Structure 1
Amino acid sequence: MRRGGKRDIAQEITNLIIAKIEQGVLPWRRPWRSLTAGGRPLRAGGQAYTGINSILLWTIADGNGYRSRFWMTERQARELGGRVLKGARPAPSVYFNTMRKTAEPTLAGEEGGVRFIRFMRSYLVYNCDEIEGLASHFHPDPLELVAPDPSEHQAAIDAFFGPIPIDMRQGGGRAYYSPGGDYVQMPPKAAFISSDHHAATLAHEYAHATGAAHRLGREFGRRFGDKAYAFEEVVADMTSGMICSDLGLPCELHDSHASYIEHWLSILKADKSAIITAAAKAEQAYKWLASWSATTRQIERSESHEAPLPAHA
């Protein structure tokens, strides 16, 4: 943001990308199909944005749920017969330029040298979802999503998640747990690559929900300090892995695992006993979620007889 000085576009872009990564889902790599039109963001003339503009506008479109791939300035919109809607949210598009600067002559009268200074500038663009009056090709056709085939483990998945008393809502293009509203938000199941991917993502978000004060009251205190968020991601990731294993699903289903590598490393390098704590917290989360389903009753009966865990249908 600009406050009486130059706008630091590079910092704004960096902050936005970091925020997206910390949400646990990279807009260019996730286990569900985006509700936005596929492909790189496009300029008014149809040319694809490149470099940081591509990543930046992709991220903003994902966060705001835009479906159009096209972006343009307010002036371009007017020239094409369109009008930017009131309240539309502009996004920065950056470009680099070079300035030629000649140094002052020296005291001895010698001519100064010439320097070329590279600098970055930005201008504002709007997504065509927030521009009316444009030709139809700037707006994609309604996206028809077809629900994926049921998983071969669907009965076990339904038995596990069905009884859990956590509010789960569907819609939009993001998966997350809302602490304030105490609900899990999921994209429509039809947007997922497979039913197994849907289950793996749901497991991760339900794991976050177990940490609420009225459930397990998961807190990390001073020990983890500013790394508490990263630690929570590790716990949710491990919990999801336990659930996937229990249901017979591949644990690598969650395509955003790569975005958690930094979380894992930052925790493990700082505290050699952190992995032990994380495993214990994840086990608590898993048992709380499983306690609502018939699965846990089977496990408890097995453990009481010291028999192997039964395979799920």
Structure 2
Amino acid sequence: MSSSKRTSRDVAAEITDLIIRKLEEGVPPWSRPWRTSGAGGRPLRHSGESYRGVNALYLWALGDAKGYRSRYWMTCRQAETLGGNVRRGESGAISVYYSSFKKRDVHPETGHQVERSIRFLRHYLVFNADQIDALPPYFYAPDEPERPVIPSERQAAIDAFFAAIPADVRHGGNQAYFTPTFDYIQLPSRTAFRSMDLYASVRCHETVHWTGHSSRLARTFGKRFGDKAYSFEELVAEVGAGLCCADLGLPNVLHDSHASYVGHWLSILRGDKTAIIHAAAKAEQAFDYLKSFGANQPEIRQILPVPRAASALAA
């Protein structure tokens, strides 16, 4: 049986409903205090590749809601190839992607045949490793208790990540923001933060805003979000900061000044079921842009090593 299929399920609505529920619970899935073991870090495919975009957000939120400890997700076929089997009665999660087909129509004015491309969401079902028996051991979270991470153990990677980014960062005062007019990031002094980890977390958020400047990714939302465009940009920055923090092994705490946008985010998501997909894509683009500055620096890497899978299986 093919793992991908067309469906009458409203996939975008299902994803949005889960994200809304997590926001209403006060726990945005991308702001979880991600750990470097157990369920911490981005959800992974069976091959060790990270999920991207809205799939990362959705599987993060679902894994949190279900209490899964493993980061790995895979189809039934992939599990079977690895020697595992999905337990009877387990429900799969949705992993989405865009597909397209060509359609030929007659132009109403010229009468000529015209071809247009129509995009639509498709999905396949994946299962968490915690729903699957007999997989190789590395697919399951270790049982040993987590050890606290000493900040200095990751400080080199954090410093290298920010040092490679050519943003103008200024310190002082008691506010954190990015000003597109003058193109600089303002942060309180480092000593004003309870820890260097929290300083780096807030800096991640403002640096994602920096990527949206007209001279860089030129992130605009036009009439689609109207007077809510500013709140939508905050949503993109919060999701993007979550990706940066997860990659660097940092806590991502919803800052007081950002938490005030939660109500606006809920309004946006309820009014447009595809908004979270759009936000996730923009956040992923910003994260990729930031990582590109340090692409040749070995210090900038994920803190958690990705085990090598037995083979690369197609989804």
TM-score of Structure 1 vs Structure 2, range by shorter chain: 0.3 to 0.5
| TM-score normalised by length of structure 1 | 0.46
* Highest RCO, 1 vs 2 (Cα 8 Å, sep ≥ 6): 2
| TM-score normalised by length of structure 2 | 0.46
Q: Whose Rg is larger?
A: 1
